[in-house]
Amino acid sequence: MEDLLFVSSSPHIRHKDTTSKIMFNVIAALIPAVIAGVYFFGFRTLLLEVYSMLAAALFEALYCFFAKKKLTVWDGSAMLTGLLLALCSPPTLPLWAITVGDLFAVIVVKQFFGGLGHNFVNPALAARAFMLAAWPVFMTTWSDPKVDAISSATPLAGGAVTTLDAFLGNVPGCVGEVSALAILIGGIYLLARKIIKPYIPLAYILTVFVFFSIAGKDGLQQILLGGVFLAAFFMATDYVTIPVTAKGQIIMGIGCGLLTSIIRLGNGYPEGVTYAVLLMNAATPLIDKFTVPKKYGEVKHA
Amino acid sequence: MKLLTFRGGIHPDDKKEQTSGVPIVELKPDEFMVFPMSQHIGAPCAPCVEVGDYVKMYQKIGEAQGFVSANIFSSVSGTVTAIEPRAVASGQKVLSVVIQNDFKDEKEDVKPLPADASIADIALAAGAVGMGGATFPTHVKLSPPKDKPVDTVIINGSECEPYLTSDHRVLLERGEEVAGGLDLVLKKLGVKRGFIAIENNKADAAENMRKICEKYPDIEVVNLKTKYPQGSEKQLINAVTGREVPSGGLPADVGVIVLNVDSATVLYNAAKYGTPLTSRIVTVAGSAIKEPKNFRARLGMSAQSLIDAAGGFVCKPGKVIFGGPMMGMAVSDTDLPIIKGTGSILCLSEEEATLPESMACIRCGRCVSACPIHLLPLNFCNYAEVRDWDSCKKYNILDCIECGSCSYVCPSKRHIVQSIRLAKQALREQKK
């Protein structure tokens, strides 16, 4: 009987893409944003990013060890979370602060809910919201690349910047959020590799643009400033926390755009993006429930 | 040229170059031929010979039981040595007639049915079944209910499973019989619209068929986009006619009959010569096979004989599959009989056969985009994990055709189809 061949349920072949390949592709797609950060804010941003990735990976490994789970560091998701958290932090953020942020993102938001695939909100953004509540001063102290000094106001709160500067990233802001151009390059890479679908980024960015244009403000500047691009291409497209159908994703994108706009319009509060995406993450199960696709051959019940 | 297609599906590497250019080779039968009495969907046949009987080639050895069943004929002449349960590809044991071949091929005197015989009668007399793998008795397909008039007949030449090229070779080498078979069906049913639908990776076959069909004004050859599962009946009908077979319904509900390429040749030969279905084209391929090729094999032969005829293994086979890599059945032993639905023997190397370890679902939605029935496969997998069968049912798990597209694209390598089968089985048991 030892000569029996191996049997398994069909299908017997699989596509070569894997979850970790996807994660590392997303990390690769963030390289332009990393480079832009170094260009505008100096090498400390690179230190912050690498440190944050390592810290996130370490927390993941420690959790796996103590929870007696299989080591999941190499799926790349923790490192991606660490990188995203660094990218949406101010360049001057102390390392201890981002350490706590990584701990919160990986352990509390992701692992406590069951690990990869089970968190209901984006870990990086949830950690950012947590840090914002814990250390509002650290989290809203922006350095201005032009004057090499620290200014406390974000351009969204009324500073005057040109649209070109906003597009290139020559403005005060977070490490990886400032350059819409760099994020766009990474986003197009992800679209071309079919890792993300265009529905959410397009719906998100267009909604913010249209909203502010109707409100009589500069819609173009509103989409280029304050992390809309980073959120639209990299945060609101985080598979785990978004709807699975095209229809659901368009609703998600429009919802993120509306919430971002409303929060910004109301009080010039710079954190519209974070809360918009988190709120829509929380609404995802509901959206999924109402956007079940019509199956092939569905018979209409009169 | 406009390529017809459906929504959803996947693009696996088709790996057809191994065998698509090699002509079909006729194979000598084995000494002992095994004929399982269940080679089709529906009621198993009852053996109509006894141990010790001498049977001729083309003689009926299994009598169809009930309407949804198909006769089985001997593919050799010789003596019945046993009627006993024998293992088949599905892993079950099925009552089988075993015949010791005398290698004389003494033929039963077969005559075509009278000219006014219905196409369903011809199919029934020939033991024809859908030879794409589903093995639905052809005469059932060809007797549409009166209240569901058929206006279209499609020959399914999509052959969307990777590796398989048997339909491709038939279209190239025996195109006349395919077109003749379709023409016969059209005439007998009084239908004015016939299609031969061929995936675009077989452009030479489409070309050949177009030339042949010049003399049949009612038959149109259409090219389909190369995409899996284009050969699934529902997806094919949708691509060619734009119609959707209602959930739980049959092609006849939208006025369509779909026939496999090889089934069309069976009907043609049955009508013209009265010969029943006793052989079929089998692709023997895969990286573990020395000389992959297509064979015309008598039904009842052992798969091992086909593997030997293809030069045997070049390396230790990791997995042997009856059928294609997407929906085929992995077998634990190669000494199993070729039956009406065996389109290929696929031998994968150990490396190809090793399935990657599965991880948590990251909700990437690739299975949703790939599902040709527009279901949410990720839900089935996640609900099955917690044995929530009712939620599976709510999300229409029973509409799943188990094509495997979701498992194929899953980056987390989750066993989605396997979970679906488990859930379906649980739901069936619940019903009892």
Q: How far is CA B217 from the centre of its chain?
A: 28
B234 touches chain A (CB under 8 A): yes
DSSP reduced 3-state for B275: coil
Residue B398 DSSP code: G
Alpha-carbon torsion angle B61, B66, B68, B69, nearest 10: -10
Boundary-marking domain end, from B220, B250, B273: B273
For residue B418, give how far its alpha carbon lies from the nearest alpha carbon of chain A (Å). Answer: 6
CB proximity under 8 Å: B 133-172 to A: 162
Mean pLDDT of chain B: 94
Handedness of CA B397, B402, B406, B407 (dihedral sign): positive
Residue B403 lies in a domain: yes
SS3 sequence of A104-131: HHHHHHHHHHCCCCCCCCCHHHHHHHHH
A301 touches chain B (CB under 8 A): no
Longest dimension (CA), chain A: 79
Beta bridge partners of B195: B154, B220
Residue B360 lies in a domain: no
Smallest Cβ–Cβ distance between B359 and the set A11, A14, A75 belongs to A75
CA–CA gap between residue B252 and residue B244 (Å, rounded)? 11
DSSP reduced 3-state for A50: helix
CA–CA gap between residue B38 and residue B217 (Å, rounded)? 38
Chain B positions touching A10 (Cβ under 8 A) are 321, 323, 325-330, 402, 404, 417
Residue B234 lies in a domain: yes
Q: What is residue B63's predicted lDDT score, i.e. its pLDDT?
A: 94
CA–CA gap between residue A178 and residue A230 (Å, rounded)? 9
Boundary-marking domain end, from B319, B352, B385: B352
Do B87 and B144 fall into the same domain? no
Total domains, chain B: 3
Residue B11 lies in a domain: no
Read off the CATH number of the domain in which B341 is found.
3.10.20.600
Contact between B261 and B170 under an 8 Å Cβ cutoff? The reply is yes
Do B226 and B294 fall into the same domain? no
Residue B338 lies in a domain: yes
CB contact under 8 A, A19 and B411: yes
Laid out side by side, the sheet with B279-285 consists of B25-26, B293-298, B279-285, B344-349, B317-322, B329-331
Do B214 and B139 fall into the same domain? yes
Percent of all residues in chain B with a pLDDT value above 70, rounded to a whole number: 100
Contact between B406 and B425 under an 8 Å Cβ cutoff? The reply is no
Q: What is residue A160's predicted lDDT score, i.e. its pLDDT?
A: 65
Chain B positions touching A123 (Cβ under 8 A) are none
Q: What is residue B65's predicted lDDT score, i.e. its pLDDT?
A: 94
Do B153 and B269 fall into the same domain? yes
Q: What is residue B144's predicted lDDT score, i.e. its pLDDT?
A: 85
CA–CA gap between residue B284 and residue B295 (Å, rounded)? 8
Residue B2 lies in a domain: no
Read off the CATH number of the domain in which B217 is found.
3.40.50.11540
Residue B243 lies in a domain: yes
Token match 């001063």: residue? A137
For residue B287, give how far its alpha carbon lies from the nearest alpha carbon of chain A (Å). Answer: 13
| Number of alpha carbons in the 13 Å side-chain half-sphere of residue A287 | 22
Short-list A156, A154, A152, CA closest to A137: A152
Short-list B291, B249, B268, CA closest to B188: B268
Percent of all residues in chain B with a pLDDT value above 90, rounded to a whole number: 89
Residue environment code for A21-44, b if the CB has 16+ CB neighbours within 10 A, otherwise e: ebbbbbbebbebbbbbbbbbbeeb
CA–CA gap between residue B28 and residue B103 (Å, rounded)? 9
- Contacts for B132 with CB less than 8 Å, ≥ 6 apart: B156, B167, B231, B260, B262, B263, B341, B343
Chain A positions touching B318 (Cβ under 8 A) are 6
CA–CA gap between residue B263 and residue B135 (Å, rounded)? 10
Beta bridge partners of B352: none
Can you read off the two tokens belonging to residue A154? 């974000």
For residue B409, give how far its alpha carbon lies from the nearest alpha carbon of chain A (Å). Answer: 5
Beta bridge partners of B86: B94
Do B269 and B284 fall into the same domain? no
- Identify the structural domains of chain A with CATH numbers, from first to last: 20-290 (1.10.3430)
Residue B1 lies in a domain: no
Q: What is residue A168's predicted lDDT score, i.e. its pLDDT?
A: 87
Can you read off the two tokens belonging to residue B205? 């076959």
- Contacts for B152 with CB less than 8 Å, ≥ 6 apart: B191, B193, B194, B195, B240, B241, B255, B256, B257
Q: What is the count of residue pairs from A and B with beta carbons less than 8 Å apart?
A: 153
CA–CA gap between residue B88 and residue A15 (Å, rounded)? 30
Contact between B50 and B301 under an 8 Å Cβ cutoff? The reply is no
Boundary-marking domain end, from B218, B253, B273: B273
* ipTM associated with this complex: 0.89
User: Which domain does B185 fall in, by range?
Assistant: 16-20+127-273
CA–CA gap between residue B417 and residue B408 (Å, rounded)? 9
Do B133 and B267 fall into the same domain? yes
Do B340 and B221 fall into the same domain? no
> Nearest 5 degrees, angle CA B153-CA B154-CA B159?
160
- For chain B, which residues score pLDDT lower than 70? 1
Do B132 and B265 fall into the same domain? yes
Do B249 and B377 fall into the same domain? no
DSSP assignments along B9-34, one per residue: -B-----GGGTTTSPPEE-PPPSEEE
| Number of alpha carbons in the 13 Å side-chain half-sphere of residue A197 | 20
Do B97 and B132 fall into the same domain? no
Longest dimension (CA), chain B: 63
Do B153 and B249 fall into the same domain? yes
Q: What is residue B394's predicted lDDT score, i.e. its pLDDT?
A: 93
CB contact under 8 A, A17 and B411: yes
Mean pLDDT by 10 residues, chain A (302 residues): 78 93 96 94 94 97 94 93 95 94 97 93 95 86 58 54 82 86 96 96 96 89 88 95 96 96 77 91 95 85 44
CA–CA gap between residue A242 and residue A251 (Å, rounded)? 10
Do B150 and B220 fall into the same domain? yes
CA–CA gap between residue B322 and residue B282 (Å, rounded)? 10
